[in-house]
C-alpha cells in the first residue's frame, strides 16, 4: 500500500479538482499528469513538457495549492518533473509559492484640480485600487536563512503575525548591496498579505516616493491627494530610504510616518547604511527611524552561500554536481546577488552551448563575473595590516589604551574600514573593541583632517592602503 501512496494521494486531489473546473479543461490539463512519488508532504507529478508546467502555474496554481492543502494538510508541497524530448536527465521544478497579491479597493478623499479646500468645497470619494507591487518570488520559502540574516528573518516573521503590533515598528534593515534587504522586506509584505488579505500593503522605493511627491507639488491640491493616498496604507515598505533626499519629500514622509505609526500601521525601511550614517536627513526623521528595530544584514557565510546555490539550482530545474556548487560557494563571498548572477550565467552558458556544467566551465564564468580571484579585504585584514605596519599587537589595538601611537593606529584602522570597505559606523565600532558611534565618527574626522595637513601621517595611511590592495 505504501508503494502506491502517491497514486492514492493524487487521485484524491483529482476528484476534488474535477468538481471545480470545466470538464474539457480537466481532460486537457489534468488527465495527462502522472504521480511519481510522495514523501514528507511533497508530491511529485510528471508533466509532458515545460510549457505544460508553465501553463498549470499560470492558470491553476491557486486550485492546486488549495486542493493539496485539503488532501495532504498544512505544509503540502508540489514538485513538477519534466521529461525533455531529447535524451537528457529529467528536470524537477518546485511549484510557485503563490501569485502576486492584490489589495482591495479603498476610498480616498480627493479635491477637484484647482479648487481650494474650504467650507464650501465638498471633496469627492474616489475608489482606488492600490497595487502592492510585491514580487511573489521574494517570499520566505525562497529566502535561505543563515547567521547573516537570521535576526532579520526572525523579526520579519514576528511582524508578519502581528503587523503594527510589535516593538519592531519601524523595522529598519541595512547592509551592503546584494545582501537580501529587498527580498526580506518583500517577504514580510507577502506573508502579511497571505495572513491578512484585507490589509493594504505597498512597496515603494525612496526615489519613487520622492518622484511622486515632486509630481504632487506641481498641481494644486494634488499634494492633499498624495497624503490622503498614503494615509490608507496599512503596511508601508520603503526600499532604499537613503535616496529620499530633499527637505520637501522628507517633510512629506515625516507627516506620513507619524500618521501611520500613531494609527498602528507597520513601516519597513531598507538602506545601504545604518540610520546614524544617513547623510542630509532631518534629525527629527532620523530619530523616528530609530524608534523600532535596526538590523544589519551581513555577508553570507559559506554554509548559507552553498544552501542558496542548491536552492536556486533546484528552482531552475537543473542538477549540478556538488563540487561545482562548493567551488562557487568558496569563490564568491561578497553577496547573494553576485552569487546568483554567476549561477544563472553558468546555467545559461551550458544550456545555450549544449555543454555539461563542469568545474572548468564554472571557473571560466566566475572569472568573467567577479574577475580574477584575490584575497578579500575585511575588517580583520585591515586590523592585521595596521598592527603589522605599526608593530603592535592586536590586543593593544583593541584595548582602551590612550597611548598616542595606539590611538593613532586605532583611528587609522577605523578610517580605512570606512573608506575602503564602506562598513557602517556601528560595525566598525563593534569590531574595534566595542567603541561607540561617536568615537568612530571622531576618529574618521581626525584622520581626514590630519591627512590634509600632515605629510607624514598621509604617508602612513597611503602605505597601509597599498599593503591591502590585492596583487594583480
Of 332, 317, 322, the residue nearest 359 (C-alpha): 322
Grid cell digits, residue 452 = 590634509
Of 205, 441, 187, 189, the residue nearest 297 (C-alpha): 187
Cell 603592535 locates to: 392
Q: Show Cβ contacts of residue 142 under 8 Å, excluding neighbours closer than 6 positions.
A: 97, 183, 311, 315
**Cα separations in angstroms, 232 against 108, 190, 201, 225, 450:** 8, 18, 9, 11, 52
What is the predicted pLDDT for the residue at 15? 92
Grid cell digits, residue 72 = 495532504
DSSP code string of 192-223: HHHH-TTS-EEEEEHHHHHHHHHHHTTSTTHH
Other beta carbons less than 10 A from residue 268's beta carbon: 30
Q: Compute the C-alpha angle 139/137/188, nearest 5°.
A: 25
Q: Show Cβ contacts of residue 354 under 8 Å, excluding neighbours closer than 6 positions.
A: none
79 phi/psi in degrees, rounded to 5: -125, 135
What is the predicted pLDDT for the residue at 89? 57
Q: DSSP state, 142?
A: G
Residues in the chain: 472
Q: Show Cβ contacts of residue 210 under 8 Å, excluding neighbours closer than 6 positions.
A: 243, 244, 245, 246, 249
- Partners of 54 in the β-ladder: none
Q: DSSP state, 124?
A: E
What is the predicted pLDDT for the residue at 319? 83
What is the predicted pLDDT for the residue at 269? 97
Grid cell digits, residue 99 = 501569485
| C-alpha to C-alpha distance for 393 and 390, rounded to whole angstroms | 9
**SS3 state at 188:** helix
Cell 514580510 locates to: 188
Of 268, 422, 267, 274, the residue nearest 335 (C-alpha): 422
Chain-centroid distance, C-alpha 229: 26
Element housing 26 (H / E): helix 23-29
Grid cell digits, residue 133 = 507591487
What is the predicted pLDDT for the residue at 451? 86
Q: Indicate the burial class of 393 (C-beta count within 10 angstroms; 0-12, 13-18, 19 or more).
A: exposed
382 phi/psi in degrees, rounded to 5: -60, -45
Mean pLDDT per 10-residue section of the chain, whose length is 472 residues: 78 92 88 89 85 81 89 89 59 65 72 45 59 89 87 94 94 90 95 93 93 84 84 94 89 94 96 85 90 90 89 83 90 86 87 83 83 65 90 88 91 90 82 84 89 86 83 46
| C-alpha to C-alpha distance for 430 and 398, rounded to whole angstroms | 10
**SS3 state at 156:** helix
In a 13 Å sphere around the CA of 457, the CA atoms on its Cβ side amount to 15
Cβ–Cβ under 8 Å, residues 130 and 202: yes
Ramachandran class of 274: left when φ > 0, alpha when ψ lies in -120 to 50, beta otherwise: beta
What is the predicted pLDDT for the residue at 178? 87
Radius of gyration of the chain measured on its C-alpha atoms: 27
ω into residue 170 within 30 of 0, thus cis? Answer: yes
| C-alpha to C-alpha distance for 265 and 262, rounded to whole angstroms | 8
| C-alpha to C-alpha distance for 98 and 194, rounded to whole angstroms | 9
- Across the beta sheet with 293-296, the strand order is 201-205, 235-239, 266-271, 171-174, 293-296
Amino acid at each position: 500500500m505504501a508503494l502506491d501512496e502517491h497514486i492514492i494521494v493524487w487521485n484524491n486531489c483529482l476528484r476534488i479538482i474535477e468538481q471545480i473546473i470545466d470538464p474539457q479543461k480537466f481532460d486537457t490539463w489534468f488527465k495527462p499528469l502522472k504521480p511519481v512519488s510522495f514523501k514528507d508532504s511533497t508530491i511529485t507529478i510528471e508533466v509532458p513538457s515545460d510549457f505544460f508546467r508553465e501553463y498549470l502555474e499560470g492558470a491553476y496554481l491557486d486550485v492546486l495549492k488549495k486542493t493539496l492543502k485539503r488532501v495532504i494538510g498544512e505544509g503540502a508541497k508540489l514538485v513538477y518533473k519534466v521529461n525533455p524530448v531529447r535524451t537528457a536527465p529529467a528536470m524537477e521544478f518546485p511549484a510557485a509559492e503563490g501569485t502576486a497579491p492584490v489589495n482591495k479597493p479603498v476610498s480616498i478623499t480627493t479635491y477637484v484640480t484647482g479648487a481650494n479646500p474650504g467650507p464650501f468645497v465638498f471633496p469627492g470619494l474616489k475608489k482606488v485600487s492600490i497595487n502592492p507591487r510585491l514580487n511573489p518570488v521574494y517570499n520566505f520559502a525562497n529566502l535561505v536563512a543563515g547567521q547573516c540574516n537570521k535576526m532579520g528573518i526572525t523579526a520579519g516573521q514576528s511582524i508578519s503575525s502581528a503587523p503594527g503590533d510589535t516593538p519592531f515598528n519601524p523595522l529598519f534593515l541595512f547592509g551592503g548591496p546584494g545582501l537580501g534587504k529587498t527580498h526580506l522586506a518583500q517577504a514580510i509584505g507577502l506573508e502579511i498579505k497571505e495572513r491578512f488579505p484585507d490589509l493594504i500593503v505597498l512597496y515603494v522605493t525612496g526615489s519613487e516616493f520622492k518622484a511622486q511627491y515632486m509630481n504632487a507639488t506641481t498641481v494644486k491640491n494634488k499634494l492633499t491627494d498624495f497624503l490622503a493616498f498614503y494615509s490608507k496604507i496599512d503596511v508601508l515598505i520603503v526600499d532604499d530610504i537613503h535616496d529620499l533626499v530633499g527637505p520637501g519629500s522628507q517633510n512629506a514622509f515625516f507627516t506620513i510616518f507619524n500618521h501611520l505609526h500613531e494609527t498602528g500601521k507597520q513601516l519597513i525601511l531598507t538602506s545601504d547604511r545604518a540610520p546614524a550614517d544617513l547623510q542630509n536627513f532631518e534629525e527629527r526623521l532620523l530619530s523616528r527611524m530609530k524608534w523600532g528595530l535596526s538590523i544589519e544584514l551581513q555577508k553570507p557565510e559559506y554554509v548559507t552561500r552553498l544552501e542558496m546555490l542548491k536552492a536556486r539550482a533546484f528552482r531552475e530545474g537543473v542538477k549540478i554536481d556538488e563540487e561545482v556548487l562548493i567551488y562557487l560557494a568558496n569563490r564568491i563571498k561578497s553577496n547573494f546577488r553576485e552569487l546568483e548572477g554567476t549561477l544563472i550565467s553558468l546555467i545559461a552558458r551550458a544550456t545555450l552551448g549544449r555543454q555539461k556544467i563542469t568545474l572548468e566551465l564554472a571557473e571560466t564564468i566566475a572569472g568573467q563575473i567577479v574577475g580574477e580571484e584575490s584575497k578579500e579585504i575585511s575588517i580583520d585584514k585591515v586590523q592585521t595590516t595596521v598592527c603589522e605596519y605599526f608593530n603592535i599587537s592586536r590586543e593593544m589595538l583593541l584595548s582602551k589604551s590612550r597611548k598616542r601611537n595606539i590611538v593613532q593606529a586605532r583611528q587609522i584602522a577605523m578610517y580605512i574600514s570606512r573608506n575602503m570597505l564602506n562598513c557602517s559606523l556601528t560595525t566598525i565600532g563593534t569590531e574595534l573593541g566595542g567603541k561607540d558611534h561617536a568615537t568612530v565618527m571622531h576618529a574618521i574626522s581626525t584622520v581626514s583632517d590630519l591627512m590634509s595637513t600632515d605629510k607624514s601621517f598621509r604617508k602612513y595611511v597611503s602605505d597601509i592602503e597599498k599593503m591591502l590592495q590585492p596583487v594583480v
